[in-house]
Each structure stands twice: as structure tokens, then as C-alpha cells.
Amino acid sequence: MTRKTALALLALAMICRTLPALETRDGSVRLTVDERNGRFSFQYLADPAKGSWVPLFYAEETRTTYATISVDGKTSRLGDSSEYRVTVSRNGSSITVEYRSALLVIRQVFTPLVPPGAALASGLAIEWKIENVGARDARVGLRFLLDTSLGERSGIHFELPSRGAVPGETVLEGAFSDDRVLSPGSTGTTLQVAFSGASVDTPDRVVLANWKRLDDAAWMPETSAGRSFTLLPYSINDSAAALFWEPRPLARGASLHFRTALGTDATHDFGAYGAPGAAAAVTVAPPPATDTTTPTPVPAGDAIMALRSDLAVVKSLIELVDDLIASDEPDAAELARARELLERLYARRSAYQE
């Protein structure tokens, strides 16, 4: 029995229990974080008309995608290690998972990303803020293991801009030229993992390999160029990507920051959207007394997609207003979020004027 199968059976055995989770939806992305361990699921709204969500990672069990912290050569899986106490909180559309030990406070912050000029979020920024709160200096590194699954269905596990489809196990390190890796799905959805850009700290190493081979290794697995994404006899056609920020000095009272960005298509550069959350800020001028804006012609297919996007924004705004009305003390961040959605719709109104 593989680890994945065992984890899935464990999940089924516990299905009758209440599973506490925080969820945030923004545009075409949905994030759900387990409040017990901080593990998360990330989904994309592939068909707004049908409400069809596509999971971007292995969907049967969220424990297969996780971060590993290395402290002075000792590794711990965040969410599994009893050394770290876990708390989960939300601020607006962002969710923060805090892992606290006697030495470190690690805050993993998830923030939806909105491409410039778009009305909807279609990506996710992930930032780790690691603070040394102990009485000694340390060497600290981070590994982020992503249990990709889209490529396993499409037959193309990964694609790199420099070489196209990746046929087998691959290691990127040093001054590698690729700024992203893609995991294309069979239904048109593509997972993008950004390696560089204004909102990304380039990893020291990226490994594309069989998931179990990466999961079995405490840190860096033994690798072999071109090895397949299968580990016999049980782990068949099972790919994953691991991002490594190698250990570096972390003095008492100092902090480290590691950032990456995930996207839901191959067309946008999700690493280039500025600081996490910054792309979501929209500034709209006060409405003029007379609006003389001439709508820009939009091709029919694009117009339909734009309409669906705008309708999704309207739906998100209505849901948010309902939550605010039901709340005894409306959160300031939620009020700001409602205003932001309104401003996005106002900025788009010229597209519907005759």
C-alpha cells in the first residue's frame, strides 16, 4: 500500500468527523486551509456557468503537498511535527498559517493574485515569513513539495519554457534560465509555478520527480536525469515538484522570507505581479459627471469570457455583502474588499454601454 493510498483511506475513515477549515474564494480561485495542520487545497473555476472547480493538486488528501523546514540539519514537516503549534487566521481574502516553536515562528501567508487589467484573481501568492525568536542563531532552509496531478491525466507531466515537455526526472539549479514550470491538464486548465519575478524568491534548486521519491527523502533525494515519474512497484505515473531554498544563517531576532506564486494558466507571468496582494489593489478615479468613454470592441469569444468574469465578480460581491449583513461587527478588511469589488465593476461598466 502506498503512502498516498494509506492517507486516502485514513481520510475516508475520518469523514464522519467535523473537519475545521478556512476557505477563501476570489475570482476564479478557491483556497481551503485545514485549521488543524495548515495543509491546503487550491482549486480553479474552470466553468463559471456550471460552477465546475478543478483541483490543481492531488485532491484525495491534502497532506501530500507540504513544506519542510530545515533547522541546523534537522528537518520537520510543517503540519506533522509536534514541535510546532499551528494556528490559522484570515485577514480579508488572505489566510495565514502560523507554525510556532521555541526557536522559530513561521507564518505561511496565502494571498489571491489578480493579473493586471483583469477583474478576477486567477493565481495564488504564497509567502513564508520565518522569524528566529529563540536564544541562539541557526541555519534555516525550506523545501516546498507540490503534489501536482493535472499532468498525470494529460500525459505531459511538466513543461519548461526552455525545452518544452519534460520526459522524466529533472533538476534545475544554479543560474537556470526557466522562470516557471507548467503542469498542463487535459481540460484546458494549467498549473503554473513561478520561479522568478517581483513576487517570487528564486529557489536555489527545483526538482521534478516521482512524488514518493521526493516524499521519502528528508530533504534532497538521490536523482538521476531522465528517470521516469514512476517508482515501482506502487507509485505509478505520480509526479511532483519540489522547490528548495537551501539553509542559510538566521540570527537571533532576524527573519527570512521565501516567496513563490502559483497560477492557473500558461498565458500570464504570475511571478511578475509585484508584492503578494499588491496586484489586487485597484485605484479608480471618482466617476465623472458625464461618462463619454467609448467602449473598446471585444471579439465575441472574449466578450463571453469577460461577461462570465464580471458575473463572477457580482456573485462574489453579493456573497460578501450577505456575510457583512449577517455579521454583528463587520470586519474592516471585508468592507475594504467589498469596496474593491465594487470599484472593479465600476471600472468595467463602459464595456456594457451602447
Q: What is the pLDDT of residues 269-281, one digit of tens each?
A: 898 864 443 333 3
User: Which has the minimum average pLDDT: 2-6, 182-186, 233-237, 312-316?
Assistant: 2-6
Amino acid making up residue 282:
V
**Does the pLDDT at position 334 exceed 90?**
no
Give the cell for residue 215: 516524499
Model pLDDT, residue 180: 96
pLDDT band at 326 (very low <50, low <70, confident <90, very high): confident
Name the percent of the chain lying above pLDDT 70.
75
Classify 3-280 by CATH class.
mainly beta
Q: What is the mean pLDDT of the chain?
A: 82
Q: For 233-257, b where at least 16 C-beta lie within 10 A, e where not — what string?
A: eebeebbbbbbbbbbeebeeeeebe
Q: How far apart are CA 119 and CA 308, in angstroms?
A: 11
Q: Which residue has the higher pLDDT, 80 or 2?
A: 80
Angle, helices 332-347/300-326, rounded to nearest 10 degrees: 150
Q: How far apart are CA 148 and CA 179, in angstroms?
A: 18
Q: List all residues 6 or more positions away from 332 whose beta carbon is below 8 Å from its beta carbon.
A: none
For the chain, domain boundaries: 3-280, 300-352
Give the cell for residue 213: 521519491
Model pLDDT, residue 295: 42
**Does the pLDDT at position 353 exceed 70?**
no
